[in-house]
Amino acid sequence: MIEGVKIKYLDTHTDERGFFREVFRFSEEFENISVGQLSHSLVNEGVIKAWHGHKVQAQWNYVITGLIKVALYDNRMGSSTKGKIFDFLVGEGLGPMAYFFPSDVLHGYKCLKGPMQIIYVTSGVYNLEDEIRMTNENLAIDFNW
């Protein structure tokens, strides 16, 4: 696991009408972190989106449909897990969950079953100056999606 990363397994309350699932409780998940933006993205099966991060912004993700392989890379100077990679599966068939990563932790995913829809909540609004984009070569890693 990478320092500061959180995985939250979500409760689902089901009855004959359907279900209710609380995904983000901002007073808890974003304690001492502002909420800047809520975004929704659709990604087709087989697509890889990586490596991406933010200098300042932190993020919670929630996969609505589909299945993805998530990878997180700790890019933070001074972190006890600097240079570590943590990967896991999220989505259909695995039970509902959300995951959090702090700023300067690079993230990526591959859509294994799609299309995949994801909601993400960020601590700031989109700002090109905050963006970090890398490749396996830039990071000097050999990660197999």
**pLDDT digits over 79-132, tens only?**
999 999 999 999 999 999 999 999 999 999 999 999 999 999 998 888 889 999
pLDDT score, position 29: 63
Residues 34-89 have pLDDT tens digits of 788 999 999 999 999 999 999 999 999 999 999 999 999 999 999 999 999 999 99
**Pick from 39, 42, 40, 41: which is nearest to 115 by CA?**
42
Spatial separation of the C-alpha atoms in residues 76 and 31, rounded to whole Å: 21
Spatial separation of the C-alpha atoms in residues 1 and 87, rounded to whole Å: 9
Query: Which alpha helices (H) appear in the chain, and where do they start and end?
Result: 26-29, 136-139
Between residues 68 and 29, the one the model is more confident about? 68
pLDDT score, position 137: 87
Arithmetic mean of pLDDT, 21-36: 76
CA 10 and chain centroid, separation: 15
Architecture of the CATH domain 6-139:
Sandwich (2.60)
SS3 88: strand
